[in-house]
Chains A and B, each alone.
Chain A
Amino acid sequence: MKYIDEYRNKDIVAYFANQIKNISTKPIRLMEVCGGHTMSIQKFGLPFLLPDTVELVSGPGCPVCVTSREYIDRAVAYSRVEDVIITTYGDLIRVPGSSSTLEKEKASGADIRIVYSILDAMLIAKENKNNRVVFLGIGFETTAPSSAAGILKASTAALNNFFVYSAHKVMPPAMETLIDEGIQIDGYVGPGHVSTITGKGIYENIPAKFNMGVVISGFEPVDLMQSIFMLVKQFETNDPKVEIQYSRVVKPEGNVVAQQMLEEIFEFRDDWWRGLGILKNSGLQIRSKYEKYDAEKMVSVEVEETIEPKGCICGLILRGEKKPKDCGLFGKICTPSDPVGACMVSSEGSCHAYYLYNR
């Protein structure tokens, strides 16, 4: 068992493709919330295998894409402070702010380092005692626990030059807001990694309140095809519920240890999402008990006024109302090497995935 090959088995994928064709009678529109799903669907060319009745739209589940310009502007401002070293996941460095990007600041001499984990950032802090090291904490319930773990570790190790700038967000408010605002979808392919942490309880509202199913899915082609099948079946039999397809990883109760860590370090705040605006209790801010590690409180900077780009419809794309091809900038002015909107930057962004695999 390699946990990859088995889930990329052509015959099983074909089996589910057939099953979907057999049971699908009415048009159904499904949203994959998670950017990892968008990437996988495009990479394996799955839309080619689905009947015309099944339409997939991409949702707001790429953390880089929903991050505000204001966040990037502030990160850029931090990077211009003499003694600050910025540590960040690679995706973020090319996201355009109002007048600059971290990549451009790096080329102009700012100390910006790409890390694969918050632990690497802490190591940099340990080795550079005369600098202040700011870690750009971005992501949903998936990466927020590692930021929480990092802050806990920093507090026991008395690391005094390490700060987290949190843009962490939680998923359920966005999923409910989209339906509330009248986005036409008939079910959610639920995020696999987020649910690994949270469990399935956070989605129970959706079938109850909106009469719409959620199937928590893995990331391989067999996972996705099976999840789509489960959603089509729910839809055809009018039996919406929360189901876990990704049961080899996701437990109904989630990862309780990670949940406790999140609770210890973070509290909810209202937060701004690209395309969705301000959503109540959708962001995670560091509790005042740990404010020593909160960049927003401890590292003061002046931030330029945020300017949104003209013509970019990232917002509508993130809401599933438009597809990348509907955007006048797509593939012309906005390309992965010279992105206008964040959806083109991240490898999980829907514009980037469409550009690479489906143009």
Chain B
Amino acid sequence: MDNTKNILLGHGSGGKLSHDLIDGIFTKHFKNPILDQQSDSAIIPINSKNLAYTTDSFVVDPIFFPGGNIGNLAIAGTVNDLAVSGAKPLYLSVGFIIEEGFPICDLEKIVVSMAMDAQEAGVKIVTGDTKIVDRGKCDKIFINTSGIGELEDKYLNVGSGSGVAPGDKIIINGSIGDHGMAVMAARNELNIQTHIESDCACLNNMISKATSSSNGIKFMRDATRGGLGTVLSELVKDSDYGISIDEDKLTVSESVRGLCELLGFDPLYVANEGKVVMVVSEDDANKVLESIKESPFGKEASIIGEISKDHQRMAWLNTSVGGRRVIEMLSGQQLPRIC
């Protein structure tokens, strides 16, 4: 790489610059067959079983926001990455990087939230590490979590979506854009007051009920950074099918929509922390939808569109006013430190 170039905030956006960094630096030097799969979790065959293994770091600003804090994110992020890979999350590690002067009562608040979420999700935090840096050398607290889960054979390909075919239905478990806009609104510099709460939640219990109710779930991905739009455009990118989504079927809360209008964001690309996108066979779609709706995190779940034979490699949005447009991968727009 060019030695005059520096890291830009855009390298962390999850968009094209991030991909360039991953391909141009990380996978280039770390190269191995497991990493090359580039899915949310690495799938590692050990003896006759498959383990899912994933890691994620959290630098959200502010660390406390309506609907959660950095600790809730750190558990949910890793648990959900495992769950959407078709795995049952089992064990987590936690690493803290803390700035000198950080209030211990705030640390405890964060840790209590993590312990409660882990218990509810049925995962154990089994190892950890703490580093303290000089004041000003990091912003309050950064957290890394890694997790291991056990994969069910029937969901070995659910992360890649290799079984997806025309006619399959697309399900999401509720409203979009809540997390990103809750964090944006909580930032002091904006001086905005809203009632938006982050949707941050561990989805593994909801997902495992759905997966045990059906053999027809062909793809799962949590719609975090980059939002629903990015998940859909990534799924369709190298495929031989198209996607068609009805804007009318998407749930966007009144306040999220208002704030997006104000700040010029498209809710399709705003981060979520408790939303999973599933592609399910037509026959099983309603059964899976009903199962998701039973969960407190899936009450507003709906079928938002389907996989189609037409417009291959493109995700179409049928707009609420009867128009049509392409859903592209997020490229360039950025909300730094959203998770």
Contact = CB atoms under 8 A, between A and B. Distances in A.
Interface of A: 4, 8-10, 13-14, 17, 42-49, 94, 103-104, 107-108, 115-116, 120, 221-222, 335-339, 345, 347, 352, 355-359
Given A8-B320, A13-B321, A103-B8, A336 B332 contact: yes
B17 interface: yes
Interface string B260-278: 0100101000000000000
A354 to B, nearest CB: 10
Given A107-B7, A336-B332, A336-B333, A357 B325 contact: yes
Contacts of A357: 325-326, 328
Contacts of B15: 337
B323 interface: yes
In terms of DSSP, what is the predominant structure of the interface of chain A? helix
**Residue among B264, B317, B325, B333 having the largest count of chain A Cβ atoms under 10 Å:** B325
26 contacts: A8-B320, A10-B320, A10-B321, A10-B322, A13-B321, A14-B322, A17-B322, A43-B266, A45-B317, A45-B321, A45-B325, A48-B323, A49-B321, A107-B7, A107-B9, A221-B319, A335-B16, A335-B332, A336-B16, A336-B333, A337-B332, A339-B332, A347-B333, A355-B328, A357-B325, A358-B326
In terms of DSSP, what is the predominant structure of the interface of chain B? loop
A31 B209 CA distance: 53
Contacts of B333: 336, 347
A336 B325 contact: no
Contacts of B257: 4
A116 B190 CA distance: 8
Contact of A338 (B17, B320, B325): B17
Given A4-B261, A116-B190, A347-B264, A337 B321 contact: no
A277 to B, nearest CB: 28
A54 B16 CA distance: 35
Contacts of A339: 332
A49 B323 contact: yes
B189 A45 contact: no
Interface of B: 6-10, 13, 15-17, 189-190, 257, 261, 264, 266, 317-326, 328, 331-333
Smallest CB-CB A-B distances: 9 pairs: A45-B323, A336-B332, A45-B325, A337-B16, A13-B321, A336-B331, A45-B324, A221-B321, A107-B6
B9 A103 contact: yes
Contacts of B321: 8-10, 13, 44-46, 49, 221-222
Given A8-B320, A45-B325, A335-B331, 19 more contacts: A4-B261, A10-B322, A13-B321, A17-B322, A43-B266, A45-B321, A94-B332, A103-B8, A104-B6, A104-B8, A107-B7, A115-B189, A221-B321, A337-B16, A337-B331, A338-B16, A356-B328, A357-B325, A359-B328
Contacts of A49: 321-323
B7 A358 contact: no
Given A4-B261, A347-B264, A347-B333, A359 B326 contact: yes
**Residue among A4, A49, A336 having the largest count of chain B Cβ atoms under 10 Å:** A336
Contacts of A13: 321-323
A40 to B, nearest CB: 10
**Residue among A14, A17, A43, A357 having the largest count of chain B Cβ atoms under 10 Å:** A357
Contacts of B326: 357-359
Given A4-B261, A347-B264, A44 B10 contact: no
Contacts of A48: 323-325
A16 to B, nearest CB: 10
B251 to A, nearest CB: 15
A221 B323 contact: yes
A238 to B, nearest CB: 30
Given A44-B323, A49-B323, A357-B325, A337 B264 contact: no
Nearest to A14: B322
A10 B189 CA distance: 37
Nearest to B16: A337
A91 to B, nearest CB: 9
